[in-house]
Homo-oligomer: A and B are copies of this chain.
Amino acid sequence: MDNLTKRATDVLSDADVVVGYSTYIDLIAPLIAGKEIISTGMTREVARVEAAIEQALAGKSCAIVSSGDSGIYAMAGLVFETCEIKAVTVVAPGSKKELPEDSEVLTVEVVPGIPALCSGAALLGAPLTHDFATISLSDLLTPWERIEQRIEAAAGSDFVIVLYNPKSKKRTWQLERARQILLKHRDKNTPVGIVSRAMRDKQNVEIVTLETMHTTDVDMQTTVFIGSSTSSRYLEFMYTPRGYTRKYDIK
């Protein structure tokens, strides 16, 4: 919880109801003792968001929790999508918009957090100090062809690449397929950082190369960082320099 912001802590403390996947609710248990909790399993995101909207429309202050940042591959998008479908009017905190009196209105604040791409990068060193592309390998809601096209495009234009959802119990081949595409564009010695459960229990951090990378310890709580042509490994760390042409002069 060292990586929660003050704003996140304050919002949780002020909430009447806290809604979230049970694993994440457990992580913040000490902060939300005594509050009403709506907690459901992994695949029940829509039900969770609908429950949260219902509570908020009933006048309760309601916090939906995700791991990392709720705006990066997480629940925030679904809140707006669901409100739009249900024709619930949403406004930002402090909004000066004039509202029709008879409409249902919710004030929605998205509280930014530390996403896995930041916590993982910090544990690896500094792989993301230059341009990067973030790609989820989950083909549950996105066609694989589209994902593969993005890997090709990012690999071909020398982005550092952050892979979310690299592997699950049911999706086991995607990361190896991504590696094959990357090897067409990048040197086999390109550094690859593999971070699981960053800054949580059972954290694991490993730096390998595109050639030696394996998927043994990779799961849904893992983020994989593929270096660009300029990324390098120094001792226990992986970093990407700021510039292609070195205009600065270190002695």
Contacts and interface: CB of A to CB of B under 8 A. Distances in A.
Interface in A58-94: 69-74, 76-86, 89-92
Interface stretch (A116-124, A169-177, A208-216): A116-124
Contacts of A232: 84
A27 interface: no
Contact of A114 (B2, B45, B114, B158): B114
A50 B250 contact: yes
A121 to B, nearest CB: 5
- Residue in A74, A91, A154 with the greatest tally of chain B CB atoms within 10 Å: A154
Given A1-B6, A236-B95, A250-B85, A72 B128 contact: yes
Contacts of A41: none
A71 B122 contact: yes
A150 B230 CA distance: 15
Interface string A199-239: 10000000000000000000000000000000010111101
Nearest to A235: B90
B7 A6 contact: no
A110 B89 CA distance: 41
A234 B90 contact: yes
A136 interface: yes
Number of copies of this protein chain within its complex = 2
A126 B110 contact: yes
A133 B134 contact: yes
A76 B4 contact: no
A237 B83 CA distance: 11
B2 A6 contact: yes
A243 interface: yes
A115 to B, nearest CB: 6
19 contacts: A2-B7, A3-B112, A71-B121, A71-B122, A73-B129, A76-B126, A78-B242, A79-B126, A80-B234, A81-B239, A84-B232, A90-B237, A110-B126, A112-B118, A130-B136, A130-B142, A131-B136, A153-B153, A154-B157
Interface of A: 1-7, 9-10, 45-46, 50, 69-74, 76-86, 89-92, 95, 97, 108, 110-115, 118-119, 121-123, 125-136, 140-143, 146, 149-150, 152-154, 156-159, 199, 232, 234-237, 239-245, 247-250
